[in-house]
Structure 1
């Protein structure tokens, strides 16, 4: 914890006055000049002290428009912008302040406030740069030394944490690579076994197919044997018992054959009736 520096303009001379205790990197009041004559800067100072930093920025800019060469207004504008969360605009306001004063201690306070604002935002490297400039301009500023050492320690801790995270990530990647290599080796060993099983299955399928063919051949032979041993079918009828269909020519030939047979039978009967009958008896 440090004491915040508050500067007042008294009779044209800047004097230091210690204020209340505040938490490091939080209080950025820096110095606020109070001008009892200019109403707008006075209203801007009240808005700043009440925590209305947006309103304070508007009033300080309005005051600068009326008096653009007043270095105090740029310094206070930088403080208000820092508290409002605009470090880039605050840096520009502090730069305008530094170009309008030749006092090294005053220039150092601009760097100090800007460095503190950067620390609060976590921009530790930028904070160290501004605090280093503050110490170059005012080597006796104990507050700047404390803040510089704290920002440097925080940056080192941040870098150590990032390094540890990177090491953990690298170790995790290495473990994943090893797991993948082991899986690849297992897959390579498994491939020949799978190929052997596939070949065995193919051989089994071929054997089953050959056996099926042999069974089918035996069934065909058995059917042929059954057909050859079966009794012949009667002519004039089919295997199903239905009469076969004959042509007209075949029917006429069949009728002629029947007529001839009938004539032959009648002729034979006539001859038999003309022969004498003998009544000889044998004893």
Structure 2
């Protein structure tokens, strides 16, 4: 369990029961993850630049391969319940993707702690992309091949950026929200009360017009959606709703449901959390990026 992440993320609550997966599973791939084989803690052949300023005092961390570029760009948007956006999150996973030949930037964006809404967060993510592509030669980036990737609140942000920014070719959304009006569907009464509170950060940050499930369109980039069927924080129905909306619009969407997996590093056990840092899951993400940024 990532205890450092838990310390900076306020107000984490869990449902006592998992939410049942709803009907409508066309194109959903259920997998059992072998969590024993993990991505390396240290990746070879990559360089990390920390704390690069990009917009109004915000910073990003950038992994780049030591091999000559230009390299496709993957912009990682960290989760944090819309209250924080710690750019140090998922460092080993980001390094794994970078070692596969990608420039990977982890981007800090404004949250409710800065009294921001999704509008400022979206503007920050887009400003980071503009900054990085504006320094494409310096960072050995190919500005024509860009993906966004995030988890939880960052997964929501990645989907929002992908559906609103035509520079994006591919989106990886790990257990992100897609429809604020149904965020507590299937959870216990206490969790529903917690999530329905109008003072909850999700309601202060998001708005109905910013639901990714309502923004799906035929020209959307390719999507890879991943969720655990034992997620007690964001119900799996959220990524399913987005998947169905994308497919109905004629967009390319692939969704994996991980048996027994929880909410990333906020899962109920270390075994659940290790599914998300497994070589198996990270290879799925790498192969998806290869298809859509290199194919």
TM-score bucket (shorter structure): under 0.3
Higher strand share: 2
Higher helix share: 1
TM-score by length of 1: 0.25
TM-score by length of 2: 0.25
Greater relative contact order, per chain length (Cα 8 Å cut-off, separation 6+): 2
Computing the radius of gyration from Cα coordinates, the structure with the larger value is: 1
